Amino acid sequence: MQLKFSDLKKKRVVNVLDGKFLGYMTDLVFTFPEGKIQGFLCLPKKQLFCKDELLISLCDINKIGDDTVLVCLKNCDKKIDDYGDNFNE
């Protein structure tokens, strides 16, 4: 499957473990110069200027549908600042 990021960021993100709507994909996290995608940032409920972006690893994505991305997150409290440089671990 090929997706453009512009199409992906329009999709809703839902946690399959509890059915909660987490927000929308807002950005992509990748390594440089390797160019490996580490995950996505998800901004809760279209809030602007919010520091509560969730980091969603590629391995946490269950399915990408027509309008929704299903993820399996046991701990939805992980914010971008919680990972620092250890996002891949």
Does residue 85 have a pLDDT over 60?
Answer: no
- 73 vs 2, more confident: 73
What would the pLDDT profile of 53-70 be if each residue is shown by its tens digit? 888 998 999 999 989 999
Architecture of the domain delimited by 5-82:
Roll (2.30)
Residue where the block lists tokens 């200027």 = 49
According to the model, what pLDDT value does residue 70 have? Answer: 95
Domain ranges of the chain: 5-82
- What is the residue-wise DSSP string for 24-85? EEEEEEE-TTT--EEEEEEEGGG-SS-S-PEEEEGGGEEEE-SSEEEE--S-TT-BHHHHTT
Q: Cα separation of 36 and 25, whole Å?
A: 18
